[in-house]
Amino acid sequence: MDRLEKWLFFGFLFCHRVIDVTKKDSGEYRIWSLLLQGMWVLPIIRDEVIWIHDELAHFFKDLKNCKSEPGGLGKKSQEVKTFYITALKSSPKYRHQRRLYLTGLLNHYSGLLKDQPGLIGPRYLHISKLLSICRSEFYWLIRHKSNLPAKKQEKNLLEQFFKVGLNECVLLAESMHVRI
């Protein structure tokens, strides 16, 4: 997921004219908005990250000053700011719900494989996809928890990262990984 998000971000950055702010029904705009509402940092290499909303705001501001670019960049800059606010408010809640769902799936498959270990073969693809999504979710959590915005360190935002159930999800994912 990290690689996909990185490719999407840089692809839209280089081809920003594809995104039409006035056509919010288009597929490109939907992908763009989901990408910017789902995170506020993007990993570059190891623990190095960029704050995508700040970089995009500076990018569109610099392009706005350039004479060769067409208009509409002010709207994109405003959209980036609203996506940043939305990302801070809704992304931790969404990710928490996602971790709860993954915990339920891990619990289901763990119980199923305890009772009938012969089902590992037919369910291997599902289990490996589930573990891959869990791994991506854990990396998202670690990356965003260690890079919280300085201005927005509200108690509510921090509580969303430490909801009960994360430990269970990690332990179940580890036990599934050991079984496979």
Q: Which of 39, 68, 84 is the last residue of a domain?
A: 84
* β-pair type (48-51, 41-45): antiparallel
Alpha-carbon dihedral angle through residues 45, 28, 137, 55, given to the nearest 10 degrees: 40
**Minimum mean pLDDT range among 5-9, 80-84, 129-133:** 5-9
Residues 112 and 31 in one domain: no
| pLDDT surpasses 80 at 160 | no
Residues 99 and 157 in one domain: yes
Residues 170 and 114 in one domain: yes
C-alpha span between 150 and 12 (Å, rounded)? 27
Residues 127 and 163 in one domain: yes
Residues 72 and 94 in one domain: no
Residues 96 and 36 in one domain: no
Residues 31 and 103 in one domain: no
Residues 75 and 97 in one domain: no
Residues 59 and 103 in one domain: no
C-alpha span between 86 and 92 (Å, rounded)? 10
Number of domains in the chain: 2
| pLDDT surpasses 60 at 21 | yes
pLDDT tens column, 25-79: 777 788 888 888 888 888 888 888 888 888 888 888 877 766 555 656 667 778 8
Is 105 or 151 the better-scoring residue by pLDDT? 105
Domain range for 33 is 2-84
Residues 79 and 133 in one domain: no
- Cβ(88)–Cβ(152) under 8 Å? yes
Look-up: residue for tokens 């999504």? 133
Residues 32 and 70 in one domain: yes
Could you tell me the pTM of the whole model? 0.79
